[in-house]
Amino acid sequence: MENKIIGIDLGTTNSCVAVLEGSEAVVIHNHEGGRTTPSMVSWNAEGEVVVGAPSKRQMVTNPERTVYGVKRLIGKRFDSQAIEELRPTLPYSVVRSKNGDAWVRINGNEMSPEEVSSHILRKMKEIAEDYLGEQVEEAIVTVPAYFDEVQRKATKDAGAIAGLRVRAILNEPTAAALAYGAHHGQDQRLAVFDLGGGTFDVSILVIESGVFEVLSSHGDTELGGDDFDRKIIELLCEEFAKNNQLNLHEDPVALQRLKEAAERAKIELSSTISTDMNLPFLAASPAGPVHLQRELRRDELESMCAPLLDALAAPCERALRDARMSASDIDQVLLVGGMSRMPAVQSRVVEIFGREPSKGVNPDEIVAQGAATQSAIMGGELQEVVLLDVTPHSLGIRVTGDRMSILLNANTTVPTRAQKTFATTEDNQTFVTLEVYQGDHEKVTNNCYLGRFTLGDLPPRPKGKTRVEVDFTVDVDGLLAVSATEHDSGKAASVTIEPAGGLSDREIRELSHR
């Protein structure tokens, strides 16, 4: 009997694992009885790794050695604006790695977000193995649709470190649509609105005769529930500093307690008009312990989060435009991600799409169920279903004037392939060095730098006479491969890839054997 392929939703706040049983995608309970597992990893005083609910229980007593929200670090450069804004709000240390990536420092040891994420994936693997009573070696792991090439590769590397062969990287909105569509046989045009703990995605799909075709995806990988929490935390810190002349940003324990309280208050305000925030002994002053007690109202939360709520419209409008549709063309809007439970978010969805969204699915579980459904498609168990996804960003090469020569446009159906010919610019040039970028901005430097490709072994000729055809191939996971051929002779030129960051194959092998 073949081993099962599990589906994993590797979330910013919580993760979930599912497996297909018969025709049903079943969410597997973790060891504590929960259907989702906190995406948290701690190192205790003895250096042992603690994952999930036990990690969350010690986040206040062990804040500097408890990592949460690592998905927001994966595939990111340390000097990026996103990391600069994030670092002051975290109780654990984010540091620059040797190659310039954002890593974390625990007990004086530096480790990559891939290694931290691998502990969460390994936990998901163990949960599935205990349930199935057999070893699990393969998984389908979901990522935000708007993740770039670097973030997708980093997620796949995290799986390898965890001892999993990642059979596919599946976009989260697409996974949700698969799980939903598998049980709703009718043809329809679907908008998937996915607002999770750290990222926001929207995808427009058409479901027709068992074919799931993604027409467009757009999103914001810096917008999620953590940002709503941070608005509450900042408000409380400002008020506390004003009233008590104490800076809570300098106290990791206080920051963790505020994070917990903010998340709890946000959740409660989805079903109530107001909630009491009560944090005794939050800090110590020369006069003694200082407490925090405050009522937070729903309208107050919505007011302070207005810029975040406003930011939801543009990606939806862009996705509709790229799909050549208007809001009135959409038959159903599917809500995914825990933040989609917030009443103000649901009101924005109604404003944007002009219709009430569907609430017939569990927004925390449907992505993992979709990943398990995809495993059945790949395994041939669901032969009547075909999935056609798209690449979220344009891919191209840097040319003069800080511009990008695009080989593949965003929202091209994958797998796909494109070629473009480049010529030498100097006499007797024996190699060409090209920089590859991914993104949708006109200025190439505002896009994501993927790496440098050196095309060698070219015949020495006058400038412009040697032409090299560069071939971009994007697989179903949205991952890029490059090849190059010297045009006249048909001789394949050597391609040396120097990636912008991430882990090397040797580092991945070493980490997977720890």
* SS3 track for 434-489: EEEEECCCCEHHHCEEEEEEEEECCCCCCCCCCEEEEEEEECCCCCEEEEEEECCC
> How high is the pLDDT of residue 497?
63
Strand 40-43, strand 49-51: pairing: antiparallel
> Helix, strand, or coil here: 381?
coil
Indicate the burial class of 2 (C-beta count within 10 angstroms; 0-12, 13-18, 19 or more). Answer: exposed
Tell me how far apart the alpha carbons of residues 512 and 479 are, in angstroms, rounded to a whole number.
22
**Which residue type occupies 331?**
D
Tell me how far apart the alpha carbons of residues 514 and 510 are, in angstroms, rounded to a whole number.
7
Yes or no: say if 71 and 38 are a contact pair by the CB < 8 Å rule. Answer: no
Phi and psi torsions of 414, nearest 5°: -110, 150
> How high is the pLDDT of residue 4?
87
Indicate the burial class of 194 (C-beta count within 10 angstroms; 0-12, 13-18, 19 or more). Answer: buried
| Tokens 């891919």 belong to residue | 395
> How high is the pLDDT of residue 2?
65
Yes or no: say if 312 and 352 are a contact pair by the CB < 8 Å rule. Answer: yes
> How high is the pLDDT of residue 495?
66
Model pLDDT for residues 383-416, shown as the tens digit of each residue: 778 889 999 899 999 887 788 989 999 999 999 9
CB neighbourhood size of 425 (10 A): 10
Biggest alpha carbon–alpha carbon distance for the chain: 83
Tell me how far apart the alpha carbons of residues 430 and 457 are, in angstroms, rounded to a whole number.
6
> Helix, strand, or coil here: 160?
helix
Q: Which residues carry out catalysis?
A: 9, 71, 172, 194
The segments of the chain whose pLDDT lies below 50 read 1
Starting at the earlier edge strand, list the strands of the sheet with 416-423: 416-423, 467-474, 480-486
Q: Terminal CA-to-CA distance of the chain, rounded, Å?
A: 29
Which residues are within 8 A (CB) of 160 and not within 5 positions of it... i.e. 6 or more apart? Answer: 166, 508, 512
Tokens of 341: 């439970």
How many C-alpha atoms does 451 have within 13 Å on its Cβ side? Answer: 19
E-only strand ranges, 306-464: 332-336, 386-390, 395-399, 403-408, 413-414, 416-423, 432-438, 448-456
Which residues are within 8 A (CB) of 488 and not within 5 positions of it... i.e. 6 or more apart? Answer: 466, 467
In degrees to the nearest 10, what's the CA dihedral of 259, 261, 263, 266?
Answer: -140
Q: How far is CA 24 from CA 1, 370, 382, in A?
A: 19, 10, 11
Question: Can you state the angle between helices 225-244 and 252-268, rounded to 10 degrees?
Answer: 120
Tokens of 279: 């944090």
> How high is the pLDDT of residue 1?
47
